């Protein structure tokens, strides 16, 4: 199965084969990432060929993986503590989006060099978030290479209670948690596509670099939401996933979409188009987008108060397929921005 052509290409490349840094340097990994597990569900973590966990009887296990690549999912030179936070946060958000409780994580990373200061900061960001959600890091793999972080998350959900994308029903309301568009606004500002004052830039950057996974909300929506996902690629693109999976359409009101005051102000300026892009197609929000029957409104209002997290009705599910977005005057937007985001090109299977 090894053809001559392949072999000769290999022989040409073998001289550049990089045997890399010494093992001793990567002993640093153990120093920063090996910690005793906290949950009794962890039978074995680290130091063997695999970790062992004891699943809870009556629960299903939710599994997801996200790979973050430098200059694609984060800027070169990003604060390593924020990167540690975000690399886990996007995975916790996947668990939240299923209504699952995140419990165990595996961290694989390629690093250009083993810089103790960088690793310490990264680990601090990662573990602060892991601790906040009771997640144990049970294994991993580190190697030398172009910066790449691959986190696998495993969580649990009572059997049959996970919230999927395909359950939206005609007449359901469409809700989103928190605010949308701030992360995309930060990227647009850093790319000089819009001008923001220092405070607005800082608060938008906080949303880009330190996203808050909505785990508690996801769990509490198990018996309420009919379909759910997290907004990672932008509202219209992600909502379309729900619509396609559910075989329905939706009508969304631009004015109803919760946004920061900075983004709101931009809507009345010549940068309105960028603001609309951020709201409708900005990625990296990690808010939960879900559908629920109108009868759930009181439950959702109470839940919003409990969690001190806005839950905003932004539209409704229609029997007609397709997605309509209306502007502040009730007119349908001609072109609905989609798939504008710095994640363009990703595909999750």
State which of positions 265-324 bind a copy of itself (CB under 8 A).
none
Residue numbers 209-248 binding a copy of itself by CB under 8 A: 209-210, 229-230, 245
Q: Is 39 in the site for a copy of itself (CB under 8 A)?
A: no
Residues forming a β-bridge with 324: 251
Query: For a copy of itself, which is the closer residue by CB, 97 or 257?
Result: 97
Residue whose tokens read 């790319």 = 191
Q: Does 339 bind a copy of itself (CB under 8 A)?
A: yes
Q: Which of 17, 270, 295, 329 binds a copy of itself (CB under 8 A)?
A: 17
80 phi and psi angles, rounded to 5 deg: -60, -30
Helix axes 198-209, 80-98, angle to 10 degrees: 60
Q: Which of residues 62-121 bind a copy of itself (CB under 8 A)?
A: 62-67, 69-73, 75-79, 81-82, 93-95, 97-98, 100, 104, 106-110
Nearer to a copy of itself, 72 or 327 (CB): 72
Contact yes or no for 40/134 (Cβ under 8 A) = no
H-run or E-run covering 246: helix 235-246
Torsions phi, psi for 251 (to 5 deg): -120, 130
Q: Which of 142, 177, 226, 246 binds a copy of itself (CB under 8 A)?
A: 142
Which of 37, 40, 47, 261: binder of a copy of itself (CB under 8 A)?
A: 47
How many angstroms separate the CA atoms of 181 and 257, rounded?
10
146: contact with a copy of itself by CB under 8 A: yes
Query: Which residue in 128, 131, 141, 328 binds a copy of itself (CB under 8 A)?
Result: 141
**Min dist. Cβ of residue 23 to a copy of itself (A):** 6
| CA distances (Å), origin 111, targets 91, 123, 149, 153 | 20, 13, 8, 20
User: Closest separation between CB of residue 165 and a copy of itself, Å?
Assistant: 5
How many residues in the shown chain lie near a copy of itself by CB under 8 A? Answer: 113
* Count of Cβ atoms closer than 10 Å to residue 101 Cβ: 22
345 binds a copy of itself (CB under 8 A): yes
Question: Of 18-26, 250-258, 292-300, 314-322, which segment contacts a copy of itself by CB under 8 A?
Answer: 18-26
> Smaller CB distance to a copy of itself: residue 165 or 259?
165
* CA 172-181-286 angle, 5° bins: 65
The whole-angstrom distance between residue 207's C-alpha and the CA centroid of its chain comes to 12
């Amino acid at each position: 199965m090894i053809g001559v052509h392949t072999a000769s290409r290999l022989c040409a490349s073998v001289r550049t084969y990089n045997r890399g840094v010494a093992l001793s340097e990567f002993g640093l990994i153990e120093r920063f990432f090996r910690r005793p597990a906290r949950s009794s569900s962890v039978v074995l973590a680290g130091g063997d060929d695999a970790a062992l966990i004891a699943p809870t009887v009556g629960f299903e296990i939710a599994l997801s993986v996200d790979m973050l690549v430098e200059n694609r999912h984060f800027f070169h030179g990003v604060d390593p503590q924020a990167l540690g936070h975000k690399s886990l946060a996007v995975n916790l958000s996947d668990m939240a989006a299923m209504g699952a409780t995140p419990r165990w994580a595996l961290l694989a990373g390629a690093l250009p060099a083993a810089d103790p200061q960088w690793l310490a900061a990264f680990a601090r960001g990662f573990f602060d978030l892991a601790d906040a959600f009771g997640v144990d890091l049970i294994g991993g793999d580190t190697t030398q290479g172009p910066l790449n972080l691959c986190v696998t998350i495993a969580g649990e959900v009572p059997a049959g209670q996970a919230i999927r994308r395909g359950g939206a029903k005609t007449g359901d309301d469409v809700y989103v948690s928190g605010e949308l568009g701030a992360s995309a606004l930060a990227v647009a500002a850093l790319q000089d596509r819009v001008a923001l004052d220092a405070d607005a830039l800082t608060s938008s950057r906080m949303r880009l670099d330190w996203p808050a996974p909505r785990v508690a909300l996801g769990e509490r929506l198990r018996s309420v939401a009919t379909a759910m996902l997290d907004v990672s690629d932008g509202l219209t693109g992600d909502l379309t996933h729900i619509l396609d999976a559910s075989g329905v359409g939706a009508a969304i009101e631009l004015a109803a979409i919760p946004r920061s005051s900075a983004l709101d102000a931009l809507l009345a300026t010549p940068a309105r188009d960028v603001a609309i892009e951020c709201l409708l197609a900005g990625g990296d929000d990690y808010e939960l987008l879900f559908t629920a029957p109108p009868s759930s409104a009181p439950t959702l209002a109470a839940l919003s108060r409990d969690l001190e997290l806005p839950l905003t009705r932004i539209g409704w599910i229609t029997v007609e397929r397709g997605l309509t977005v209306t502007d502040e005057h009730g007119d349908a937007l001609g072109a609905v921005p989609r798939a504008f985001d710095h994640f363009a090109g990703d595909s999750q299977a």
